[in-house]
């Protein structure tokens, strides 16, 4: 037997011996005993209580700096209680912070001076006799625990991301989205043919709101997120999301801008509130209801109600619709676009529908990403509306999309993906649940993201189209009227399903490249875009990422390498100095040369072996453009009709 350097006796194999003390208790001297007498005490040592970061002794300009931590939390709870208040009762529910599963045997303490001691009989209900536990702005780790414990279909994947299921609905329900039509929205919003705004009245909204609030108040716990929209601090919006699922809370934690502890303490009353009761259906006998799903916007009350769908994208796009209403009122243009900035400060906007390459082309390792989907253009420049990215996952691979692949890690929400039951490795090619598999992650998960997500005024506005007809040129420089025409049109083409072995392209038009989300008439957004482009000297471009040498099935998809060379030439400014010629029918200016791109493909007629078929297909697409634009022809822009006439003249001529 030997001794180690500390004088402790050592046994065989170098292990410390177990000493028998005079009291007869065996003791292992190899380490100090833990400072706990029970396993519960040991668990309590594992978690360190977060200390408030704002000094409690007061700081000038801090709204709540003279309150104690307990008083601050009480004000916070009262604000949440007010948000959850029924319109038929005088007060909101009794709310308390924390997970009800961790409060056994004790009655939660609340401040009773916030509740009336005498209430009318009409307000008495089971929910008014219980406490609603509020899980407030939980961290991703805490939300993981909630999802894994209580939400069936939640799993941790091999990459660390949280896999979830959105239930029966795996996509948005645009036909079930409604907007209250009242005095404030009657003249402002776009109603009627072609509009995405389906009307409902105030009373019906309040019926659905009451249904959602009653459902949320009946639960033992609700998740509450207080967050921001718009990275421009001068124009940011405070939003509150009340939901019943950890999945929804983590999704919005990622997609909205996350407040600092100081900002959260001073959050106050939200500018807009979402009540997500998606697990509970709407009443089909309620006026305007056509299914068990309803997504309702009330711009006057600044509220949104979700019933009958658990698809998280409804919250993201619902708030985007709100920004499409609120921002133009401040003379700020809201945009459904990607946005990046070069090292010299040159900003580019990328517009494009699904499948056009908007996400791929706006994610450039030589440039900083401001955002991938939603932006504002104000007098201060551009700013991202969101705090995260919502990327498609179908057929995702490390080689094709390395940034998105690497962003799927701890904290990321994976919607409706399929994974190996043993290894938990995601099989991104699987469509068993849906083809619309998605990943929601914070924007800082992208290595070259620009934080804060703001930039100067854009120099280039790039409109992307995946033309499966194969008649649009790879790149065209647009004048202002053409930019407005193609922006309002929002064209791309999708490949239809197989019918007896024949596949034909199908034209798709979405006004302003986001018709499902705009609130005003498309020409109003187009006029704002033109004004800002002229003021700041931006150039418009139409880039076709679709087919060349023939329509889908005959020609080939434009090589991504060529498209990237074109985008590089736009960013560098070299394309401005190119020699141009004009195409027939659409009257587009196309360059005769682009570095790194074969000159023969720049004019699509050169790539078609059958010139007659090319002309027929070109005229067919031109006719589809004209037919689509008919709904916009009677809307005048400005005091006279001059601008409207210029836009119409910028369309195809045949």
Residue 587: HSE in the Cβ half-sphere, 13 Å Cα cutoff? 13
Cis before 452 (ω within 30): yes
pLDDT range class, residue 354, cuts 50, 70, 90: confident
Helix (H, G, I), strand (E, B) or coil at 259: coil
Report phi then psi at 460, rounded to 5: -135, 135
What is the C-alpha to C-alpha distance for residues 278 and 393, in angstroms, rounded to an integer?
A: 23
pLDDT computed for residue 36 by the predictor: 66
Residue 350 token pair? 């990328």
Residue 53 pLDDT more than 70? Answer: no
DSSP letter, residue 650: T
Q: Are 309 and 282 in contact (CB under 8 A)?
A: no
Residue 333 token pair? 């243009």
Q: How many residues are present in the chain?
A: 654
pLDDT computed for residue 113 by the predictor: 36
The pLDDT tens digits of the residues spanning 28-49 come to 445 555 666 777 776 666 666 5
| Segment (H or E) for 411 | none
Residue 52 token pair? 């408030």
What is the C-alpha to C-alpha distance for residues 612 and 475, in angstroms, rounded to an integer?
A: 23
The pLDDT tens digits of the residues spanning 105-151 come to 455 544 433 333 333 334 445 656 678 999 999 999 999 999 999 99
What is the C-alpha to C-alpha distance for residues 99 and 96, in angstroms, rounded to an integer?
A: 9
pLDDT range class, residue 17, cuts 50, 70, 90: low
Q: Which residues are catalytic?
A: 172, 317, 336, 354, 358-359, 373, 438
Residue 629 pLDDT more than 70? Answer: yes
Name which of 550, 561, 456 is nearest 503 in CA terms.
550
pLDDT computed for residue 501 by the predictor: 41
The pLDDT tens digits of the residues spanning 415-448 come to 999 999 999 999 999 999 999 999 999 999 999 9
What is the C-alpha to C-alpha distance for residues 53 and 13, in angstroms, rounded to an integer?
A: 50
pLDDT computed for residue 100 by the predictor: 86
pLDDT computed for residue 90 by the predictor: 60
The whole-model pTM stands at: 0.86
Rounded mean pLDDT, 581-585: 97
pLDDT computed for residue 355 by the predictor: 85
- Burial environment of residue 121 by CB neighbours within 10 A (0 to 12, 13 to 18, 19 or more): exposed
What is the C-alpha to C-alpha distance for residues 458 and 372, in angstroms, rounded to an integer?
A: 15
Rounded mean pLDDT, 43-70: 51
Handedness of CA 475, 481, 485, 487 (dihedral sign): positive
pLDDT computed for residue 20 by the predictor: 53
Name which of 555, 541, 557, 549 is nearest 591 in CA terms.
541
Residue 75 pLDDT more than 90? Answer: no
Q: Are 388 and 312 in contact (CB under 8 A)?
A: no
Helix (H, G, I), strand (E, B) or coil at 141: helix
Q: Are 421 and 500 in contact (CB under 8 A)?
A: no
């Amino acid at each position: 037997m030997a001794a180690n350097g500390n004088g402790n006796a050592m046994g065989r194999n170098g292990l410390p011996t177990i000493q028998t003390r005079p009291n007869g208790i065996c003791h292992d001297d190899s380490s100090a005993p833990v400072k706990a007498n029970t396993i519960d005490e040991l668990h309590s040592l594992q978690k360190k209580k977060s200390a408030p970061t704002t000094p409690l002794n007061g700081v000038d300009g801090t709204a709540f700096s003279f309150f104690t931590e307990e008083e601050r939390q009480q004000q916070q709870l009262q604000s949440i209680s007010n948000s959850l208040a029924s319109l038929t009762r005088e007060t909101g529910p009794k709310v308390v912070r924390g997970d009800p599963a961790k409060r056994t045997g004790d009655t939660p303490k609340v401040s009773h001076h916030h509740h009336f001691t005498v209430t009318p009989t009409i307000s008495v209900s089971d929910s008014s006799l219980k406490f609603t536990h509020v899980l407030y702005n939980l961290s991703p780790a805490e939300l993981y625990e909630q999802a894994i414990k209580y939400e069936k279909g939640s799993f941790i994947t091999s990459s660390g991301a949280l896999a979830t299921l959105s239930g029966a609905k795996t996509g948005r329900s645009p036909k079930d989205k409604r907007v209250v039509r009242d005095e404030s929205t009657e003249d402002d919003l776009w109603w009627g043919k072609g509009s995405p705004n389906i009307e409902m009245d105030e009373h019906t909204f309040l019926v659905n709101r009451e249904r959602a609030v009653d459902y949320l108040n009946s639960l033992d716990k609700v998740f509450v997120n207080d967050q921001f929209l718009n990275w421009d601090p001068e124009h940011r919006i405070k939003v509150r999301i009340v939901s019943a699922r950890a999945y929804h809370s983590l999704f919005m934690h990622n997609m909205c801008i996350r407040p600092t502890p100081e900002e959260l303490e001073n959050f106050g009353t939200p500018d807009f509130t979402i009540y997500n009761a998606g697990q509970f259906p709407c009443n089909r006998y309620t006026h305007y209801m056509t299914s068990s799903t309803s997504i309702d916007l009330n711009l006057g009350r600044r509220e949104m109600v979700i019933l009958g769908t658990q698809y998280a994208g409804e919250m993201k796009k619902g708030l985007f619709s709100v920004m499409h209403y609120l921002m133009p009122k401040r003379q700020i243009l809201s945009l459904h676009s990607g946005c990046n900035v070069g090292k010299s400060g040159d900003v580019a906007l990328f517009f494009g529908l699904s499948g056009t390459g908007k996400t791929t082309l706006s994610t450039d390792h030589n440039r900083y990403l401001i955002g991938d989907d939603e932006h504002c253009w104000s007098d201060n420049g551009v700013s991202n509306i969101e705090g995260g990215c919502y990327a498609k996952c179908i057929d995702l691979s490390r080689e094709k999309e390395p940034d998105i692949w690497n962003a799927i890690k701890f904290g990321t929400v994976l919607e409706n993906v399929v994974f190996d039951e043993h290894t938990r490795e995601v099989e991104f090619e699987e469509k068993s649940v849906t083809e619309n598999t998605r990943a929601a992650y914070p924007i800082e998960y992208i290595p070259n993201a620009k934080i804060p997500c703001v930039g100067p005024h854009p120099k280039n506005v790039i409109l992307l189209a995946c033309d499966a007809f194969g008649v649009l040129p790879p790149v065209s420089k647009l004048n202002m009227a053409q930019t407005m025409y193609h922006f309002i049109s929002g064209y791309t083409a999708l490949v239809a399903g197989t019918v007896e072995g024949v596949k034909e392209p199908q034209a798709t038009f979405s006004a302003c490249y986001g018709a499902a989300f705009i609130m005003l008439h498309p020409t109003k957004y187009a006029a704002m875009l033109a004004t800002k482009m002229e003021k700041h000297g931006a150039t418009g471009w139409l880039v076709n990422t679709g087919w060349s040498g023939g329509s889908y099935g005959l020609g080939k998809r434009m090589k991504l390498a060529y498209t990237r060379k074109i985008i590089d030439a736009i960013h560098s400014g070299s394309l401005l100095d190119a020699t141009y010629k004009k195409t027939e029918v659409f009257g587009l200016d196309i360059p005769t040369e682009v570095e790194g791109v074969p000159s023969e493909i720049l004019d699509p007629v050169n790539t078609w072996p059958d010139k007659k078929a090319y002309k027929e297909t070109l005229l067919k697409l031109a006719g589809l453009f004209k037919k689509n634009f008919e709904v916009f022809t009677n809307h005048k822009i400005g005091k006279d009709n001059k601008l409207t006439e210029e836009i119409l003249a910028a369309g195809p001529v045949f």
